[in-house]
Amino acid sequence: MSLDAALPGDITGASDLIDLVRSSVIGEDEAVAGPFGIRRITYADYTASGRSLSFIEDFIREAVLPLYANTHTESSGTGLQTTGFREDARDIIRSCVGAGGDHAVIFCGSGATGAIDRLVAVLNLRLPRDLDERYSFSSQIPVEEKPVVFIGPYEHHSNELPWRESIADVVRIREDEDGHIDLRHLRTELELYRERPVKIGSFSAASNVTGIISNTHAIARLLHEYDARSFWDFAASSPYVAI
């Protein structure tokens, strides 16, 4: 059973689907007590966590949970089915982010924070904190051999703190006069650090505060011009823009 098959049969287009999603939000009509009395909830934190939808929860209860099992085995019918559900989810995500056959979709757990933490680990940019504090290993790395990470002016902590806790130097790129990532400043810093062995640009595709959208293509081209890796946090914009 697929989620598509679980949807009502009268869903014929995007507007019907939007209406279904709107009417299926769990807790949409809830009210909370505040300083001005009882007020209906106005939910404005979708970047951090979306709200549950009744038809998805129904699908999980009716189709997933009855056959739920460990995904690390395919020797049982339940394990095989649960593994299939997981791979279906992976394929859906692959399609949504525009990934191809050469890309890996890795489940990391806790959103962008977990993804960037995993990225730092995969790049081997973190020393065990207790050992580093005890023996000062990071201070023994020659400055010219340290990785450098360029971040934007409006990064969430999840795209800043993991880099600052790594062995890399972190360089913040300022805003231009329109509030976007300043390409001229980025070029200046890339030129300054061009001899570093590992150069990384890690930017938000959109600000979760102002909604300003970054010019991902122009920034990626500039990073690649200096042989720098281009990493993007789409947490604030992935439901609304093409990736």
pLDDT band at 231 (very low <50, low <70, confident <90, very high): very high
Per DSSP (E only), the strands in the chain are 31-34, 37-40, 148-151, 169-172, 199-204, 229-233
The DSSP bridge pattern shows strands 199-204 and 148-151 to be: parallel
pLDDT band at 208 (very low <50, low <70, confident <90, very high): confident
Q: What is the pLDDT of residues 61-117, one digit of tens each?
A: 999 999 999 988 889 999 999 999 999 999 999 999 999 889 999 998 778 889 999
* DSSP string across 221-240: HHHHHTT-EEEEE-TTTTTT
pTM for this predicted structure:
0.86
Q: Is the dihedral of CA 101, 243, 205, 114 positive or negative?
A: negative
Task: Please count the other Cβ atoms lying within 10 Å of the Cβ belonging to residue 204.
Answer: 27
Rounded Cα gap, residues 240 and 200, in angstroms: 25
Domain boundaries, the chain: 1-67, 70-107, 111-233
Residue 98: burial class (beta carbons within 10 Å; 0-12, 13-18, 19+): exposed
- CATH number for the domain formed by residue range(s) 111-233: 3.40.640.10
Rounded Cα gap, residues 235 and 181, in angstroms: 17
